[in-house]
Chain A
Amino acid sequence: MVFFRIILFCFGFIVPSFANFALAQKASISGYVKDSLTGETLVGASIRTEDGLHGTVTNVYGFFSLSISNPKIPIICSYVGYNPKRILLKKEVNENIQFALSPKERESREVIITGERNDRNVKSTEMGRIELSGEKIKSLPVVFGEPDVLKAITLLPGIKSGGEASTGFYVRGGGPDQNLILMDEAVVYNPSHLFGFLSVFNSDAVKNIEIIKGGMPANYGGRLSSILNVNMREGNNQQFKYSGGIGLISSRLSAEGPIKKGKSSFLISGRRTYIDIFARPFLPDEIKGNSYYFYDVNLKLNFILSPKDRIYVSGYFGRDILDYKSRTNSAVNFNFGWGNSTATLRWNHIFNAKLFSNTSIIFNRYELFNDFKFGAGGFNVRSNLLDWNLKNDFTYYPNDKHQIKFGFNYTFHTFQPGILAGNIGSAKITETINKQYAHEYAAYALDEWKINNRWSVNYGLRLVAFQLVGPYTQKEYDNDTQLPNGKSFSYGRNETIAFYPRLEPRFNCNYLINENSSIKASYTQTYQFLHLATTSGAQFPVDLWVPSSKLVKPQMARQYAIGYFRNFRENAYETSAEAYYKPMRNQIEFKPGASLFFNQNLENEMVFGQGTSYGLELFLKKKTGKFTGWVGYTWSKSTRQFDELNEGKPFYFRYDRTHDMSVLISFQINKKWAGNVVFVYGTGNATTLPDSRYAYRYGIDPVTGEPDYIFIDKYSSVNSFRLPAYHRADLSFTYNQIQTKKFESSWNFSIYNVYNRANPYFIYFLPDIKSQTVKAYMVYLFPIVPSVQWNFKF
């Protein structure tokens, strides 16, 4: 109730303030922009009057709405990589204009298709927002030659990768669970396959991605550090197309086409690894019975019901399966798997030329299962997280000075941390960790206001609330023995256990110094109600998402950012310098050595503290010419302080990276050949190393008199060591073998880690009896790795 009142209150201010401007608008146009060959809508396409006085871009559904003062001036629609279209208006109100742009011929096309309006980085109020197209992601080299969304974004400033076997990414000093990863609006709780080598996103099905690392506008929320929006393609609604690729570790196949030409389409993409078959000859005997594979399927259906209504259906299903059969013990069998399933139903409705809405219903499930048999018994473990989500987003375009967005988002979460059942001999074992239920609410309103030729602001308010409800029984535990003390609290169905209403103000502003440069500043406050329970730095499939509760307060972060943006040579070069300061509260860590798996009293293992992160990000991008690409450099510092860790003294965040640099150069050699060079450099991760050791578990062999014991490492200060710096260069080439209307094929050759740098994966210590010393060894994952991939399309 309070939410609605506050939204109406905000409207009370916004609506009258532009009522005056409404009179000056003589005409309006709205509609969609699409690719003339495939029918796919184009995101971020520019629609402006030829005199440059009015302009807008298409939204994520390809929809635009523009109010203009002089209907006699022609309208130009353009998108990088496509031939622009120019039209003259015949009437005042023009709804449902369909701009069908034709792609430019390959030679005259820029190699990089960014999909952004040329001067958007200077003129818009957005700070910390970067967009990458699906095609761009596919051209970037990664290990084993598999293009990957989560690896590609780590080439952008401010976004750091966790390391080679990790899809976790760290944005401006925040942890891996502080990024909201959305696939067609469905939250992806575990975005990795292959224990972190690859993400769940099949780049064949990706249309574009958008990452927001600062200046988050009010229509987004739920995580502290970033929003990664992965938008999937709709499918060719003109003709059937098949495409795919065969690579070293996996293969992909996609089919798309019209259900009813021009009106509806489908897209289905699938992927599977065969690393189990490929790796088997190399496996040592003890794990020869191992088989691991993953597969995923993306499905999209899209229906244009009428000029005012469109329906989209998206689905994702993926699984990773690890199967182990012992060779020495035929009865020992271990089967472990996990995966996400998501389904989204979206309805775009155009009320009139000025009001666009999208309503989505989303179902999302992440689950984990494990079956372990050993002859005289066996166990199985199940764990899952289920979401039902309803959201509605409106965009109102009253005139070309304001763009208003408002909406709500409701999610019902069900957490099932674990069910264990099994037996050893005749003893039966069952153990269940109680399910938890929660409602998560959000409502927002924002206004993107172009005050005058120099000033624009985007201000908004997001109201959020989290309600943990029963049925639930909370057992009380004795802190010393870690056993239940017999007392418990019971909550009935939908009875509130904890309730956290919070306010998130957001503010971005842009001061245009001249046509080519601007200064921007932003302030955001965000809360996060779901937390990832993990002790190691690597995100692991058994890691649990836990809700805020009576003891666990919501995490909070504020971000202050300021930046200078400048374009050169008519937007051929984009540069920016952005500085940010981000204090975080109610951060969660686990006690060292905490046992998280199947822990009935997980909250007892948590410690709470705060974090601080600040930095400077410099970025230079070249968009046109034979050579294109970017250079990003970030200097930053990120620390944490917990009373119960490190004797209460602040320590470096594990992923603190003082210097981080990435360079990407793309070039077109000739009609057939194109290439990419990537170079990355980062200060090594902070890590905790033992500073002393002691002998324990002593025994004496009575015959030889030799003592027997093991050494235990003792740790004191947290994260006070730095691993050696991480740097590597990659090279990739694409050879366009056949390029005809009927069939296209290309070869991709890549070399990962060209100069064979041994980048540390972890360090361990081993006593050396001969020299009577303890030696340190560094394990590294990938030496130079060449790979090849063949892609086709027909």
Chain B
Amino acid sequence: MKKAIIKYVILFIATLQLAACEKEIKINIPASKEELVVEASINQLSPTLNYVILSKTMDYFNPSLSLLAVRNAKVFITEGNIVGNDTIYNIANQTQFFDLVDSLFPGIYVNPLFIGKVETPYKLDVELVDGRKITSKTFIPKPVVIDSMHYWFEPNNKDTNAYFYLQWQDGPEQNNYRVVLKRGFIPFLSGWGYGDRFYSFDDALINNQPRPFLMLNPFKYGDTVNIYLSQIGRPEYLFWDSFRNAANNGGPFATPVSVKSNVTGAIGSFTGYALTQEQIILR
């Protein structure tokens, strides 16, 4: 809500300038302390969305515009069993992830044979060549079922933009969601970042009732839209919500935000997605 207000305000203040007045300046930022970054994702449905990405932070003006990968690390994901109040991680249920495409995409660790299970906890263990360790835990909750989906166009305006509406039932327990939309013929995402639009929200405002999700004019007539609706855990949601703030930060109202990692020994997240996937052609 506040983001919407801020967006309109920034637009308005920009108009008062009558033109965008800006110029390039030189700034000296001293070298920073390097930190490790983890982006780990697992789910029960789509194998191309199971991966662990290891990288490092770089100095702000480092000319590189690509990922600063961490190579040759040992990456393990272990499935856990819930026994009473405890979770047991048996080494027999451990899967190792490898940087199979190291030459093309360094830093990405995958295992095409890994399949996640719903309502199951998982543990991530990473050991770097230099001995540094990273650990994290996550939980794949239960996926939701989409009750209905429909779309419509502006009256008399088929040529432009569609409204798109999705609905599912939100249960009485605390739920957190992440929705990613992808336009295009290729039906699968390889990496969550390949999506077009990203939303993270919980059920604080709409709980235990049919949960609508409305999109305004993202798509045109004839588009194929892929919907990835996931349920995620609470610490994972807090990460993605803070990530959204960090990604949208800037301008005169910027504040030095930091993400709320659920990983020990690094910045970032290990998220278990309970994925529901749908495809629809807008015609």
- B-contacting residues of A (Cβ < 8 Å)? 165, 195, 197, 275, 279, 282-284, 286-287, 290, 292, 322, 324, 328-330, 332, 334, 336, 370, 372, 374-377, 379, 381, 420, 424-427, 429, 431, 480-483, 535-536, 538, 540, 542, 592-593, 595-598, 688-703, 705, 707-710, 712-716, 718, 721, 724, 758, 761-765, 767, 769, 772-783
Contacts and interface: CB of A to CB of B under 8 A. Distances in A.
Given A535-B255, A707-B66, A427 B206 contact: yes
Given A695-B67, A763-B25, A483 B174 contact: yes
A634 B209 CA distance: 61
Interface string B24-65: 111101101111010100000000000001011111111111
Contact of A287 (B12, B59, B253): B12
Contacts of A482: 238
B15 A279 contact: yes
Interface string B101-129: 00011001000000000000000000000
B21 A592 contact: no
B251 interface: yes
A459 B214 CA distance: 64
A536 B206 contact: no
Given A195-B12, A329-B161, A708 B37 contact: no
Given A761-B252, A780-B23, 20 more contacts: A328-B217, A329-B161, A329-B217, A424-B212, A425-B165, A431-B205, A592-B255, A593-B242, A598-B1, A695-B66, A696-B39, A697-B39, A708-B193, A713-B246, A713-B249, A714-B57, A721-B27, A774-B63, A776-B25, A782-B17
Nearest to A720: B30
30 contacts: A195-B12, A275-B16, A282-B15, A282-B18, A290-B8, A290-B12, A329-B154, A334-B4, A374-B214, A376-B165, A480-B235, A481-B238, A535-B255, A593-B249, A596-B2, A597-B2, A688-B256, A692-B34, A692-B57, A695-B37, A696-B268, A699-B194, A712-B247, A721-B27, A758-B23, A765-B60, A773-B61, A774-B61, A775-B24, A776-B26
B135 to A, nearest CB: 17
A542 B217 contact: no
A286 B66 CA distance: 32
A85 B195 CA distance: 82
A483 B160 CA distance: 41
Contact of A536 (B27, B188, B252): B252
B267 interface: yes
Contacts of B56: 694
Interface residues of B, number: 95
Interface in B113-152: none
Interface string B190-222: 111111001000001110011110101100000
A424 to B, nearest CB: 5
Contacts of A535: 255
Contacts of B29: 689-691
Given A593-B257, A694-B57, A698-B193, A429 B205 contact: yes
B105 A700 contact: yes
Contacts of A334: 4, 8
B245 interface: yes
B27 A691 contact: no
B83 interface: no
B205 A426 contact: no
Contacts of A598: 1-2
B192 A697 contact: yes
Given A336-B5, A775-B24, A777-B25, A764 B32 contact: no
8 pairs of A and B residues whose beta carbons are closest in the complex: A699-B194, A593-B257, A699-B193, A699-B191, A597-B2, A715-B256, A692-B32, A697-B193
A329 to B, nearest CB: 6
Contacts of A592: 255-258
Nearest to B34: A692
| Residue among A480, A693, A699, A710 with max Cβ neighbours from chain B (10 Å) | A699
A688 B257 CA distance: 10
A705 B104 contact: yes
A286 to B, nearest CB: 8
A699 B39 CA distance: 11
Nearest to A780: B21
B84 interface: no
Contacts of B68: 694-695
B160 A328 contact: yes
A375 B164 CA distance: 12
Nearest to B53: A698
B89 interface: no
A376 B214 contact: yes
Nearest to A275: B16
B22 interface: yes
Contacts of A329: 154, 161, 216-217
B174 A426 contact: no
B98 to A, nearest CB: 17
A359 to B, nearest CB: 41
A342 to B, nearest CB: 25
Contacts of B188: 702
Interface string B60-93: 1111111110000000000000000000000000
Contacts of B65: 767, 769, 772
A420 B206 CA distance: 12
Contacts of A425: 165, 167, 212, 214
Interface in B246-283: 246-247, 249-259, 267-268
Nearest to A287: B11
Nearest to A771: B63
Contacts of A767: 65
B22 to A, nearest CB: 5
Contact of B256 (A431, A483, A718, A780): A718
B206 A377 contact: no
Given A483-B174, A536-B252, A536-B254, A780 B22 contact: yes
A781 B15 contact: no
B251 A689 contact: no
| Residue among A197, A696, A702, A776 with max Cβ neighbours from chain B (10 Å) | A696
Given A427-B209, A597-B2, A715-B258, A538 B24 contact: no
A74 to B, nearest CB: 58
| Residue among B30, B62, B255 with max Cβ neighbours from chain A (10 Å) | B255
Nearest to B193: A699
Contact of A694 (B2, B58, B198, B238): B58
Contacts of A376: 163, 165, 212, 214
Given A483-B234, A762-B252, A772-B63, A379 B195 contact: no
Contacts of B259: 712
B189 interface: yes
Given A702-B190, A712-B247, A707 B8 contact: no
Nearest to B186: A702
Nearest to B253: A536
A691 B29 CA distance: 6
Contacts of B97: none
B32 A597 contact: no
Contacts of A375: 163, 216
Contacts of B238: 481-482
Contacts of A724: 25
B23 A698 contact: no
B257 A374 contact: no
Contacts of B247: 697, 710, 712
A761 B21 CA distance: 10
A336 B8 contact: yes
